[in-house]
Structure 1
């Protein structure tokens, strides 16, 4: 870590926060078509920031939906290490809006936390890498390594166009290491290097009964109620032990290595901290596993939305003709998203209640990923964290998904270091998302320290 670069980020902290606030005002919601121009605006904003930081070449590259922003500085020469940084500039929708204490696109600082959609996931964390490059180039005039940036605008919708982009552009993206900051630390003050991500398989299913809504007095008790049928079908997805009751759902799951089992056990169950973070009195899930195991190394099937019938104020006594549920599965190594969705559809066909039909529509998918941590890049990242945070780094897995990581692994064949600076309690994807500014400050220094540590490796 160069003292000049650290001095630079400390001297320019408020200016950097002002720039981040500007970034966070852009409503780059990739899933909503009415925000297509906002997503494009965020890409243009990043282009300007990368050029200001000192990168020699920056491009906005169109895809079938939202653009990719690519930048590079390659003046360190062929003998130097090349670092590829991945991040995303798109964000999740903000619903339900009434649960936000302040406007999600008007950044606000409260108790040294920056509140805004995207503050932690992933605008804030991606922005830190750009500012770290700026600090080194402005204070030193050069880097001891080459660096490339790949920042996409579709991560929150499953990166549907990035797989093809990475495969097509793998020579342009060639590097010695890939660094991603889009994962949480273990807890406040305890940094973590993430060694695995769960995959994703999402689906919407719609139950249809009568040709239209019916009067519940005239037809109730005789004609199938689509909401009742949907509830019955959804209940069949789990058993009383919290296990997923889809035939073959757990087939092929890869066992943890003994070393990872021991490392996970040493971190403790995490049950008490999870109850405290979420404000619940008890935890639920697959019997025989701790909360960390349930959220890191076991697959899930969750209901994300259930709706049908009358939704307005008061009562309307109808038998709904149609009811819908949105579900998603988090998957672990050894599971394939398409295979899992096939098995869910087979289960639905077998368990559809009498008198109704069920149609399905598939949504996002992403393959799970687990990284071997023997490459020296991981030790370099651990040393950087420990220099700045003054505590031992934890090796963890993350329950969430970054779909393109498995593609990076398959196409680029480089170590992938997931070194995040968010906290599990920062409400990403939920109202009142925020980013602890302590980790903004320490994160910048950690990134600088890692780059210096890594550039010294032979």
Structure 2
């Protein structure tokens, strides 16, 4: 109860503000954003029109150049830097008299797209009056003098993950300046051009530019908000790893009628292996996999209990008749590790199915880590598990000789760039200060979430920098990130402007 009482005290100490109106300064930024909605949305539209897959260096450099020009107009001194991969943007805006510095992280690359799966082209930003899944209709881009409905959605790759923070932050600064206000902090930016590829060179960037990134707070501006749509601070993320598994059968395709029940089917072997890794409630069964998991603290359990319970609403929204986890709520389950089968390929399906036994079958697994688990330990536990299931393992394509020498062969390809999880203190002085600032925006209490289910390379920042780290997500939870028809609800963008303006104005006070 010690944690809970301190947190409640912090909320009430936040200026007797749970029942107070927003300050005139906050209101001025809100009014500015609405009066300048067309310019802000046109900037966002331009930014989202740029393809941004990290593997395309030309596209990513176009994005980086646009960013440096865009933020330069707001007084930032920016530089595009690399460490052998996609570009990053490092920038700083010094404020006269400011004694504190905030470092803000966001990323401007996006997941690869399959345009044929999108309702509208992924790099042609489009407005709708709701989600595609709900049958929302297209909206013509408003003309000058016409308003943007806050419940409309803007559809484009990276609309929700993660270009919005760049636009909202600059709009917040514009709003402060227009209303005669000055940020109370120096502002530093590190904008990642390869997060969706695992940020493989981020370690080199942080090591090389560590001295330019010192701050009193690192705000990670990525990820979706809570499903209740309430404002939220997040204090952790899971780690991530990817592994591809390939099982083998005959060296060439065989007629399934002539050779079925005799020639081993790699589909069967791989499915059987995968089925032994988890039970029906998705609990992990691999020996040793859970040995290093950090238990949930009392403070984290209390924070989860205080969150709005959204499971039934989510089940209805997603048309789910059941969920994994034995009845535990979503926020508790994402505090645990996960093994997710991302995809399986072992022959055609539907109209492309054929009566053959294929030479191989491949599954791609996404492994989500929690604090104290390490990529090396998980590799060791899975390697031992595959061995116990009778598989001879290789990281290369097996030869005919190797296939004949072993009853079961498994190619195991670990994708580079796996990283661990992160969780920080929900009741630190910096957290209490942020709670105070955010609650003062509109008198509504800010949700405190111990961890989000997704992954970010925060562990590298924790290793190289000394600043406390807190996540500030702004996108709607149903933004379809990483998938088709990615979108952002416009009210989330306006709310982000308000939040950034409040933090920049008050954190250094």
Normalising by structure 2, what TM-score?
Answer: 0.83
Distance apart, 1:109 and its partner CA: 1.4
Distance 2:105 2:173 in 1: 14
Distance apart, 1:410 and its partner CA: 2.3
Of 96, 105, 109, which aligns to 1:90? Answer: 109
Distance 1:99 1:279 in 2: 21
- Which residue matches 1:444? 497
Q: What does 1:173-322 correspond to in 2, within 5 Å?
A: 173-267=213-307, 269-285=309-325, 287=326, 289-295=328-334, 297-310=335-348, 313-322=351-360
Residue 63 (1) aligns with residue 83 (2): yes
Distance 1:224 1:107 in 2: 49
- Which residue matches 1:377? 430
2:423 and 2:451 in contact (8 A); partners too: no
Give 3-state SS (helix, strand or coil) of 1:72's partner. Answer: strand
Structure 1 residues 402 and 132, CA gap change in structure 2 (3 angstroms): farther
- Which residue matches 1:36? 57
Distance 1:173 1:268 in 2: 36
Residue 101 (1) aligns with residue 94 (2): no
Distance 2:353 2:473 in 1: 48
Structure 1 residues 371 and 157, CA gap change in structure 2 (3 angstroms): same
Distance apart, 1:387 and its partner CA: 3.2
Residue 361 (1) aligns with residue 385 (2): no
Distance apart, 1:6 and its partner CA: 4.2
Moved more, 128-137 or 436-445: 128-137
- Which residue matches 1:17? 41
Distance 2:254 2:219 in 1: 56
- Which residue matches 1:338? 376
2:229 and 2:476 in contact (8 A); partners too: no
1:316-368 C-alpha deviation (Å, 9 max, x unpaired): 22110011000011111121122112212221222246833111111241211
Distance 1:312 1:273 in 2: 33
Structure 1 residues 333 and 318, CA gap change in structure 2 (3 angstroms): same
Distance apart, 1:14 and its partner CA: 1.2
Structure 1 residues 65 and 432, CA gap change in structure 2 (3 angstroms): same
1:216-248 C-alpha deviation (Å, 9 max, x unpaired): 232211111111111111111112453211111
- Which residue matches 2:17? none
1:20-73 C-alpha deviation (Å, 9 max, x unpaired): 11111111012xx4x332122111111111112221x11111221101111111
Distance 1:352 1:278 in 2: 39
1:253-310 C-alpha deviation (Å, 9 max, x unpaired): 112221221121222553212213322121123x363222112x11110100100224
Residue 161 (1) aligns with residue 201 (2): yes
Structure 1 residues 279 and 94, CA gap change in structure 2 (3 angstroms): farther
1:200-225 C-alpha deviation (Å, 9 max, x unpaired): 12111111222121122322111111
1:370-402 C-alpha deviation (Å, 9 max, x unpaired): 111333332332233323354211101343344
Which of these two proteins has the greater Rg computed from alpha carbons? 2
1:381-427 C-alpha deviation (Å, 9 max, x unpaired): 22333233542111013433443212212221111121111122111
Give 3-state SS (helix, strand or coil) of 1:101's partner. Answer: coil
Of 99, 106, 111, which aligns to 1:80? Answer: 99
Q: Which runs of 5+ in 1 are unaligned?
A: none
Distance 1:101 1:390 in 2: 39
Distance apart, 1:2 and its partner CA: 5.5
- CA RMSD in angstroms comes to 2.1
Structure 1 residues 431 and 199, CA gap change in structure 2 (3 angstroms): same
Distance 1:313 1:259 in 2: 53
2:347 and 2:353 in contact (8 A); partners too: no
Moved more, 425-434 or 349-358: 349-358
Give 3-state SS (helix, strand or coil) of 1:87's partner. Answer: strand
Distance 1:206 1:357 in 2: 8
Distance 2:92 2:380 in 1: 41
Runs of 4+ that moved beyond 6 A = none
Structure 1 residues 145 and 237, CA gap change in structure 2 (3 angstroms): same
Structure 1 residues 375 and 291, CA gap change in structure 2 (3 angstroms): closer
2:48 and 2:124 in contact (8 A); partners too: yes
2:43 and 2:167 in contact (8 A); partners too: no
Structure 1 residues 146 and 342, CA gap change in structure 2 (3 angstroms): same
Query: What is the number of equivalent residue pairs in this alignment?
Result: 448
